[in-house]
């Protein structure tokens, strides 16, 4: 397989995977508006995970919610990070049999990009991010599926880069 053809294959996988994850996130956000907004919290897994609806005008833990032009600044930063993750994805080796181990780096990039894109869409179209998931066993901020993608992708990428792949590009 030529390098150019191989790159396009991996870019297509990236685009489809990110799109599917973003659509799942947006569907859950829409569902939460229709079924949770203005309602009491619901228990999804009793004592562990619950559902509620919350508008988050800031970022993680509601930080920067009162920042003037905050949504546009945050949107610009997220857009730049999405470009950086996408650029990094194209730099992950591919094409040779020994390059298959690098899938462990592709998956975190896909998760991070999907999470960033899902929240960016909310931020640009609504001016806030729709959150709906809450841990019931600890006092933890309400979050959404996109947030979970980003956190899982970051932890997975960190784990892979520290313990699995020693020759990271």
Q: What are phi and psi of 150, to 5 degrees?
A: -65, -45
The set of catalytic residues is 131, 147
145 Cβ contact partners less than 8 Å away, ≥ 6 residues apart: 24, 25, 28, 29, 115, 118, 133
51 Cβ contact partners less than 8 Å away, ≥ 6 residues apart: 32, 36, 41, 42, 43, 44, 132, 133, 134
Task: Report the DSSP beta bridge partners of residue 133.
Answer: 51, 143
Q: Are 70 and 59 in contact (CB under 8 A)?
A: no
How far is the CA of 116 from the CAs of 58, 78, 112, in angstroms? Answer: 14, 6, 6
Cα–Cα dist 50/46, whole Å: 7
């Amino acid at each position: 397989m030529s390098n150019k053809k191989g790159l396009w294959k991996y870019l297509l996988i990236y685009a489809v995977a990110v799109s599917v994850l973003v659509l799942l996130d947006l569907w859950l956000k829409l569902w939460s508006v229709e079924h949770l907004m203005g309602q009491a919290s619901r228990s999804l897994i009793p004592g562990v995970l619950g559902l509620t609806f919350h508008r988050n005008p800031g970022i993680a833990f509601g930080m920067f919610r009162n920042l003037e032009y905050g949504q546009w600044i945050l949107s610009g930063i997220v857009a730049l990070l999405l470009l950086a993750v996408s650029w990094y994805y194209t730099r992950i080796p591919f094409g040779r049999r020994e390059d298959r181990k690098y899938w462990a780096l592709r998956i975190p990039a896909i998760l991070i990009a999907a999470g960033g894109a899902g929240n960016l869409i909310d931020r640009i179209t609504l001016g806030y991010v729709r959150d709906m998931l809450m841990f019931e066993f600890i006092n933890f901020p309400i979050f959404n599926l996109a947030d979970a993608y980003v956190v899982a992708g970051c932890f997975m990428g960190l784990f892979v880069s520290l313990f699995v792949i020693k020759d990271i590009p």
